[in-house]
Structure 1
Amino acid sequence: MTSPHAPALKQVVPAPPELKRVGRFTILRELGRGAIGVVYLAQDPIIDRQIALKTFNPKLSQIERKKHEEQLINEARAAGRLSHPHIITIYDANTEGGLTYIAMEYLQGRELSRLLAREHPFELNDIATIIWKVADALDYAHRNDVVHRDIKPANIFMVGENQPKIVDFGIARSPNRVADQFAQTNDAPYTLFHNNILGTPTYMSPEQACGEPADARSDIYALGAVMYEMLAGRKPFQSRDTEKLLQMIALKTPPAPHEVNPEVPEALSLIVMKAMQKRPEKRYQHAHEMANDIKRYLVKGRRPQKPKPEMEEDDGAGEASRPALKRFAWLAGLLALAGGAAVLGSRFLP
């Protein structure tokens, strides 16, 4: 008989079995792990090549897996319809033995975010070339009706000699994605809050910051924000307070990159500021327009047309800023109800 004063024994939870095989793929080793997902290096025995296999963390319960399964399937459907040298290639996706997985191109390199965090130096022409290639990839995706909606340095993987690959299409909008009917009726909650999948809002467009649907021009804004960070050495907007950060994105205009870093050519700075215009109709309307301006800079050093200053960035005091303030007030209230920054939580992988 156990004494009532004896210390309670901790319940021992057995460790999940180590995966040896998923579908037809043989697991070789783990490449990365997050709270929700794991990426393994695996071997495809049929084609005899190594692939990256993305699936769920074995520690997740069946209920938790079901909750996040939509995001994984959406990633496979969105990226799987694309074939471009600067977009990760999806080879296969399936559910077998209760486990959903994606088999994709095995990339050897580093996320752009890690390189920037280590203050990895990029030459100005290298920055222009990288962004040009990403813009070209986005233009291809947009022409195939796929909007990424989460372009940021963590989702640009650098391989070889400054060769970028767009990855992580988990919240992309595409014609064949899961929950299309919901997205067409009210996209804003899905974009910001569905399954806590968006992460940091630093690279969100003003319309996303105001809780409005994101289209291809939101991807262009986000790419402009990435280019800004690479040129200026800092993010266009920074704040630990999520609501304040969203307000800055919605209403403020950052100093141009060449004003922060005098070594930046004004021609490149103008491209960034046009991509980051507050109003979508004043940005590049298609990613190939941004790519063409960068290409002209690289080839001839020609300057793009300087965008006209906007009236919507005057600290909220001007008449023209009222629509943006009204839109932002809606989002601020939603953030407060949802617990603020907590709803902008974990990604599928870190």
Structure 2
Amino acid sequence: MSELATSYDILKVLGHGGFSAVFKARRKEDGDIVALKQLDLTIENEEEKAYRDFKEEVDILKKLDHPNIVKVYEELILDHKPSLEMEFIDGDTLEMILKKEKFFSVDDTLDLIEQIAAALNYCHHYYLPGNFAQHADSVLRRRNAVIHNDINPKNIIRSKNEDGSNRYVLIDFGLSFSDPDAVRHSRKEEGMAEYKSPEKWSGTMIDAPSDIYSLGIVIYELLTGSVPFPVKDYKTTEEMIALEEKHKTAAIPDMCKKG
């Protein structure tokens, strides 16, 4: 029996992307429900650099404590794959909600902005005791500040609080990082094309403004039902070049004139 099957009952596949799979799982030891993420990467032991880099990032994520950020519990190796145990959020992603409801009301959008902006503010100003802050590229950057790096409707879940109010939770920190220099030339510059900030297209320094730009695109989509610069075919080079130029130089279409 695999290590995964020995430790967990897999209840549902929550998602599967290019780099990982996420499951709703029941921990056999105590019956708790968790979200379990496995990277599509094979390693032999904990001393491999890929796992040490993974663990270093996860050690910071485990310290994040905010009601609008998914709680990360533990990292482990299951069947030679780096794995991550997280809080299971019972709700729908913004992507799922938009497919059903088309767009959000102004009040619901303002509620989301308040919660997710608070989560990003917490991440961007996070620091460990004794670490320093510095100015870089006109942005105040704290060492160990966490940049999510993949803000899009798939990575925000809406659930319900006990009083019936909405709770919006930022999930999937799989492309996040705490060292902008280390991420400059890595695959972490990627993310969903419609939400990529201009600096991500250019391959230059990624920092807190990149997350803020992507959140702005999400807000635009919530209010209008579509992103400002839609993509029809990700495999068409000409369309992706045009999308890049729009994000770098074009004015955002007036949302009041859409439709």
TM-score band w.r.t. shorter chain: 0.7 to 0.9
Q: What is residue 129 of structure 1 aligned with on the other side? A: 111
1:91 deviates by 1.0
Distance 2:52 2:94 in 1: 26
Aligned residue identity for 1:164: Y
2:216 aligned with 1:233, yes or no?
no
Residue number in structure 1 paired with 2:169: 165
TM-score, scaled relative to structure 1: 0.57
Whole-angstrom distance in 1 between the partners of 2:214 and 2:96? 18
Deviation at 1:71, TM superposition (A): 8.2
Instruction: Determine the structure 2 residue equivalent to 1:147.
Output: 147
Tell me the TM-score normalised to structure 2 length.
0.75
More strand by share: 2
Higher-RCO chain (CA-CA 8 Å, sequence separation at least 6): 1
Amino acid at match of 1:90: V
Where does the alignment leave 5 or more consecutive residues of structure 2 unmatched? Answer: 127-144, 234-238
Larger radius of gyration: 1
More helix by share: 1
1:301-337 CA deviation, whole Å, 9 max, x = no partner?
Answer: xxxxxxxxxxxxxxxxxxxxxxxxxxxxxxxxxxxxx
The change in CA–CA distance for 1:106 and 1:72 in structure 2 (over 3 A counts) is: farther
Give the aligned partner of residue 7 of structure 1.
Answer: none
Shift of 1:163: 1.5
C-alpha distance in 2 between matches for 1:238 and 1:73: 36
In 2, the alpha carbon distance for the partners of 1:56 and 1:172 equals 14
Task: For 1:30-45, list aligned pairs within 5 A.
Answer: 30-34=12-16, 36-44=19-27
- Contact 1:75–1:168 (CA under 8 A) maintained in structure 2: no
List, as ranges, runs of 4+ consecutive aligned residues in structure 1 with deviation greater than 6 Å: none
Q: CA deviation at 1:186?
A: 6.7
SS of the equivalent of 1:202 reads helix
Q: Are the equivalent residues in 1 in contact too, given 2:146–2:177 (CA < 8 A)?
A: yes
* SS in structure 1 of the partner of residue 253 of structure 2: coil
- 1:187 equivalent to 2:184? Answer yes
- Using the TM superposition, give the Cα deviation of residue 159 of structure 1 relative to its aligned residue in structure 2, in angstroms: 1.2
**What's the % identity of the aligned pairs?**
29
**For residues 65-94 of structure 1, what are the alpha-carbon distances to aligned partners after superposition, in whole Å with 9 as ceiling and x for unaligned?**
x89868864663453221100000011112
Take 2:217 and 2:186, find their aligned partners in 1: how far apart are those partners?
Answer: 23
The alignment yields a C-alpha RMSD, in angstroms, of: 3.0
C-alpha deviation, 1:199, in angstroms: 3.7
Deviations 1:120-174 (A, max 9, x none): 4422101111121100100000011111111111111111243211111112121
